Amino acid sequence: MEGKKINEETEKELKCIANAMLDKKAQFVCSLDLSEIGTAICDHFVICNADSTTQVQAIADNVDEMMHKECSRRVLRSQGRENAFWIILDYANIVVHIFQTEYRQFYRLEDLWADAPKTTYND
């Protein structure tokens, strides 16, 4: 099943988020295109993990900063900063998930949304 074409602005935002994650040494960065899944709360998830809460926080801060600087987007809501096990940044059409490694392995979002086309980002 082929998903609908991602518009240029969304493509730029997804790359901005992925690059901001990779700049802070995030692991296993990927995006899931949820736009064709009727029950999804947004069009895209971007997911990564890191081994420490300090790094999870740094990744979230960098995503925030780069989305504002490069895409003029501010996060609408965020959750999880108080313990940095799993930080969620909500940009309406894109929801960013930054996990501490063990929590990503436990929650396995990619498996829950296995029908969604997946894009992997590397350095």
Cα 14 to Cα 20: distance, rounded to the nearest angstrom: 10
pTM: 0.93
Identify whether 98 is part of a domain: yes
Identify whether 2 is part of a domain: no
The 10s digit of each residue's pLDDT in 33-48 is 999 998 889 999 999 9
Question: What secondary structure letter does DSSP report for 74?
Answer: -
In this structure, what CATH number is given to the domain that contains residue 95? Answer: 3.30.460.10
Instruction: Give average pLDDT by consecutive 10-residue segment, the chain, 123 residues.
Output: 68 98 98 92 97 98 98 97 97 98 96 94 89
Identify whether 123 is part of a domain: no
Identify whether 121 is part of a domain: no
Identify whether 25 is part of a domain: yes
Identify whether 90 is part of a domain: yes
Cα 58 to Cα 109: distance, rounded to the nearest angstrom: 21
Residue 4's closest CA among 122, 116, 120? 116
Identify whether 122 is part of a domain: no
State the residue range of the domain holding 12.
Answer: 8-115
Are 13 and 21 contacting, i.e. CB atoms less than 8 angstroms apart?
no
Q: What domain count does the chain have?
A: 1
Identify whether 80 is part of a domain: yes
